[in-house]
Structure 1
Amino acid sequence: MKKIVFSVMLMAFFTANVQAAFTFTPQENNKVGLYLGGQIWQSEVSGFFGKKNTLSGFNLKKTQQSNYFIGVKHPFSMLPNLRISSTRLDNVGKTNSTQRFSIDNDSTVIYNNVDTDVDISYVDYTLYYPLFDNGLFSFDLGLTARDFDGAVTETDTTTTVMTSHDGGLDAEEHPEHGHIVTETTTTIATDKIKTNDIEPMLYVATNINLPLRGLSVFGQGDFLLIADHSLYDYQVGLSYDLVDSSVVAFNVTLGYRILKMEFEDVDNLYTELEFKGVFFGVMTHF
């Protein structure tokens, strides 16, 4: 049902007559522009995930994520611009516990280790309009279809060590009266939850040129439109033009990005995760 609602919204957005909204949006040189870029994102992650009533933190690590995008801008004000972005969002973690039991001279130790591999990567398909652009300040508004395609895999390794003393109650203090028998068993169980869902999001972006030539501050965000879950992803930063000619432009970016997702039963996956950290990026356009 959600995909149908989003398809209707996307169609309405694409076909709406919005000519009046673009009085102040001159397209650069009236040419079609191709934009290519990417980011390296050093993200810290906090929160929980798993199946219902079995959420765990798994001590996820600080990892390096990546993002790549391609975009097309054009001078046809009736049609939206296009942006496709792919973000890798994966991590690994581990939890362990030890339980000990003792009855008379017999003891049991249970070692439980859970390794997890989290992959919540996605591709964004964005259609947007430049609502305002006067050369100093710009503001874009659009719709994003965030297509998740990944999996959460848990590997549970349980090792049970049972120790018994054969030969009488005093065998532990007097080994010559008996001997110690140790039995070890190990079981491994793997559980995999696939994520394959499309979330509709509102896309906004802005750029403000600063007095120093070639330097600007920017912001960009995607925010969930349908309130089944909580999902937002935004970034702010600085951009500097290393090359800016009529033929090609190349710039570098530095900023901070925060992504939070609270899902309830997305393909049986529940999450309360937040990724945040500094990123470095590059972009070129022709």
Structure 2
Amino acid sequence: MKKALLTTSFIALFASPVMADTVAGLYVGGQGWQTETSGSFADNNSMANFNFEDETNTAIYAAVEHPLPFIPNVKINHTSLDSKGDTTLQSDFTFNDNTYTANTTVATVSDLTTTDFILYYELFDNDLVSFDVGLNGKYVDGILSVASLATDEEPAVEGRREFSGVVPMLYSRVQVGLPFTGLAAYAEGSYLSVDDHKLSDFQVALAYSFIDSIAVDMTAQLGYRRVNVDIEDLDDVYADMKFDGAFAGLEIHF
């Protein structure tokens, strides 16, 4: 009921000034993201800081924009947030009913994905500036694991925890273009601070449209993205992790 009231209020607030596209369009894009990961996770409040290696992650998305003023546009964005590393524990750590003692070297794996289901309105849309605002239901799904290394005295011990959940977020995007050059800069993000969950997902980039035709447009992107995941008891998982780094992408507009 609360989500329905929030959505209804949001539509009523922004429906009147919306400036919709005059022609419907489909946007499809993909990004390669060089990700640095830091932070911690656990299945209780006692988390340990882990070391993670840099990884190359990916994001793919599709958006549909249309000329109907009272119906929001739709965007779906799927992102991988995979990371792994080895850490020597500074203190005892418990995960999935397994206890790992101090000075034990453990291998950690964070296999996360996020899928954003975004409903948004274009408040402005022209060659100089565009501004979108909306709501995002971010679906977080993952597997976290901690495994000690086998020794002559002790066998390897592995604990795994699967979790998933939907977190509601606000969404906005602003783009500023330089007419007749194909160049533009944009900032896009989703953010939330409700109850004990604090999530944010921001990116800034330069974009260059190198094909601009009646049939199709193609744009290259180069930017920086940062995702913060601070969750408290989401499906019995606690995490405070940061993923950030440079990305390169390609977008096609039909």
Tell whether the structures are fold-level matches, with TM greater than 0.5. yes
For residue 116 of structure 1, what is the aligned residue in structure 2? 108
Structure 1 unaligned runs (5+)?
Answer: 99-109, 160-183
SS of the counterpart of 1:121? strand
Which residue identity lines up with residue 60 of structure 1 in the other structure?
F
| Structure-2 residue corresponding to 1:35 | 27
The CA distance in 1 between the partners of 2:51 and 2:13, in whole Å, is: 50
Q: How does 1:191-230 map to 2 (within 5 A)?
A: 191-210=159-178, 213-224=181-192, 226-230=194-198
Residue 8 of structure 1, CA deviation: 4.2
Q: Scaled by the length of structure 2, what TM-score is found? A: 0.88
What number of residue pairs does the alignment pair up?
243
Q: 1:269 aligns with which of 217, 228, 237?
A: 237
Alignment correspondent of 1:94: 86
1:128-143 aligned at under 5 Å gives the runs 128-143=120-135
Equivalent of residue 249 in structure 1, options 178, 203, 217:
217
Q: Cα gap change, 1:222/1:18 in structure 2, threshold over 3 Å: closer, same or farther?
A: closer
Question: SS state of the match for residue 149, structure 1?
Answer: strand
Secondary structure in 2 matching 1:185: coil
Name the structure 1 match of 2:70: 78
Kindly tell me: are residues 11 and 188 of structure 1, through their superposed partners in 2, closer, same or farther at Cα, counting changes over 3 Å?
A: farther
Q: State yes or no: 1:190 paired with 2:158.
A: yes
> What percentage of residue pairs aligned between the two structures are identical?
34
CA distance in 2, matches of 1:10, 1:193: 33
Bigger drift between 224-233 and 244-253 goes to 224-233
Q: CA deviation at 1:46?
A: 1.7
Per-residue deviation, 1:207: 0.6
Provide Cα deviations, 1:16-55, integer angstroms capped at 9, x if missing partner. Answer: 3744212xx251xx32211100111111112222232442
4+ runs deviating over 6 angstroms? none
| Contact 1:47-1:273 at 8 Å conserved across structures | yes
1:131-183: per-residue Cα shift (whole Å, max 9, x none)? 12233111100000000111101122353xxxxxxxxxxxxxxxxxxxxxxxx
3-state DSSP of counterpart to 1:188: coil
Q: Is the 8 A contact 2:127 2:178 kept in 1?
A: no
Matches within 5 A, 1:137-176: 137-159=129-151
Secondary structure in 2 matching 1:6: helix
Look at both structures and tell me which one has the larger radius of gyration over its CA atoms.
Answer: 1
Look up the equivalent residue of 1:59 and give its one-letter code: N
Q: Which residues of structure 2 form unaligned runs of 5+?
A: 91-101
Change (3 A) 1:275 1:250: same
Aligned counterparts of 2:134 and 2:150: Cα–Cα separation in 1: 49
Q: 2:205 aligns with which of 237, 248, 254?
A: 237
Which letter maps to 2:229? Answer: M
How far apart in 2 are the matches of 1:17 and 1:41? 35
Contact persistence 2:133–2:173 (CA under 8 A)? yes
Helix, strand or coil: the match of 2:17? helix
